[in-house]
Amino acid sequence: MPLMDINNPAIIIFLIENYEKENRLRLNWINKHRAKIQQAATLAREPTNYFETDVIAHNIIGGMATITRDHVVAGYNRRKVPIRDGTFIPGVKHLRHGHSIIDVGLGDTKDDPRLVRPDTDLTSDPIIRPIDPDIKEIIYKSKPEFGREQYLVKRSKVRPENKYYFAETSGNVYGWRMKDSELHQKPLFGRCWHLTRALRSRVGPQPDPPHYKSSDPPGPSSCAGI
């Protein structure tokens, strides 16, 4: 739409007439509602003492019939038997059933009488397996042949799976049931006491074999006397 040419006399007359008409309409509306405008401006009307909660309550009253209806329906539904997705819902008394040390095959009641417990007993399972009585007596005997240090030495030689029901430390995890591994074999380069073995041998200490010596460079050698 092209812009109006405000320099055109006809357009100027049109705009002036519309401005005057709008002013007349505004004055007529103000004169018609003068009393209401004055009452609203001066706050001279009677106070209603309404609060925001009263307005909210007025809106809630309209929905009370629906709330009553839903309450009656809810009461009817509560009397119905609920539909269960599962036929069996385990409780606290079923926590140990099928998950005890005996059920998973890690212990036997003949070796450890502490494992004989009902399923309703929710106390913690024993951590350490029964200690060999011969090893246990060491700690109660006199030093230096026996005592706490000798007891710990004997216990350190027992496999971790024979001392505990489960791996309790990272060290236990590292060496847990190593005998079950297919890669279990004797070390190929284990430490051995060469001097002790040589002294206790029948022929005594022997020199190193020739292939242990470093190769001599070609040419004359002062060490060899050549």
Structure confidence by residue, pLDDT tens digits, 50-79: 888 888 888 888 877 777 777 777 777 777
Q: How many domains does the chain have?
A: 3
Q: Are residues 100 and 140 in the same domain?
A: no
Q: Are residues 174 and 132 in the same domain?
A: yes
Q: Are residues 144 and 161 in the same domain?
A: yes
Q: Residue 38 falls within a domain, yes or no?
A: yes
End-to-end, the C-alpha distance of the chain in Å comes to 121
The DSSP symbol for 218 reads S
Q: Residue 113 falls within a domain, yes or no?
A: yes
Q: Are residues 115 and 136 in the same domain?
A: no
Q: How far apart are CA 136 and CA 139, in angstroms?
A: 6
Q: How far apart are CA 118 and CA 122, in angstroms?
A: 9
Q: Are residues 110 and 152 in the same domain?
A: no
Q: Residue 226 falls within a domain, yes or no?
A: no
Q: Are residues 99 and 140 in the same domain?
A: no
Q: Are residues 133 and 154 in the same domain?
A: yes
The predicted pLDDT at position 30 comes to 92
Q: Are residues 132 and 150 in the same domain?
A: yes
Task: Check whether 168 has a pLDDT greater than 70.
Answer: yes
Alpha-carbon dihedral of residues 173, 177, 182, 186, nearest 10 degrees? 90
Distances (CA, A) of 168 to 96, 115, 126, 129, 160: 20, 19, 12, 12, 9
Structural domain of 31: 7-43
Q: Residue 57 falls within a domain, yes or no?
A: no
Q: How far apart are CA 178 and CA 123, in angstroms?
A: 31
Q: Residue 100 falls within a domain, yes or no?
A: yes
pTM for the complete prediction? 0.40
Read off the amino acid at residue 101.
I
Residue 192: pLDDT band with limits 50, 70, 90: low
Among the listed ranges 57-66, 69-78, 125-134, 189-198, which one has the minimum average pLDDT value?
Answer: 189-198
The predicted pLDDT at position 27 comes to 93
Residue 138: pLDDT band with limits 50, 70, 90: confident
Q: Are residues 111 and 145 in the same domain?
A: no
Q: What is the mean pLDDT of the chain?
A: 78
